């Protein structure tokens, strides 16, 4: 474990939080078609979704920075921890996108 800094786990945690934030808001709330306005209404739902996407992109960019700045450019061996951190965050981010936009929200069929 001497080749892997423990602070590198933080970007995976941030990416997971972003998946929960992105999928906590329904598409009906974003479009303003929900039955209740909630705390801040449509504007609050859009801000929440924007912050979720911001955290997701930030974790993906941070994973790229860890891969290249921590492993590829200094030519550390082994390089698999950097690749693992990047792939973990890429899969977290893209699975959140697929779950958000790749499904329908019709509950009644």
pLDDT for 50 equals 96
Say how far apart CA 96 and CA 69 lie, in whole Å.
26
pLDDT for 26 equals 85
pLDDT for 108 equals 61
Let me know: does 89 contact 81? Beta carbons within 8 Å: no
Q: Which tens digits make up the pLDDT trace of 22-43?
A: 999 888 888 877 766 667 788 8
Q: How many residues does the chain have?
A: 109
All residue ranges of the chain with pLDDT < 70 are 1, 35-38, 105-109
Provide the mean pLDDT of the chain: 88
Please give the model's pTM, rounded to 2 decimal places.
Answer: 0.86
Let me know: does 84 contact 12? Beta carbons within 8 Å: no
């Amino acid at each position: 474990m001497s080749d892997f800094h423990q602070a590198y786990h933080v970007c995976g945690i941030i990416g997971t939080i972003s998946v929960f934030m992105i999928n906590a808001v329904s598409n009906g709330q974003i479009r303003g078609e929900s039955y209740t306005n909630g705390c801040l209404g449509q504007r609050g739902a859009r801000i929440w979704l924007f912050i979720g996407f911001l955290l997701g992109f930030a974790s993906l960019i941070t994973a790229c920075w860890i891969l290249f700045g921590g492993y590829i450019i200094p030519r550390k061996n082994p390089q698999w921890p950097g690749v693992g951190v990047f792939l973990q965050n890429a899969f977290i981010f893209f699975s959140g996108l697929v779950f958000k936009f790749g499904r329908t929200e019709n509950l009644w069929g």
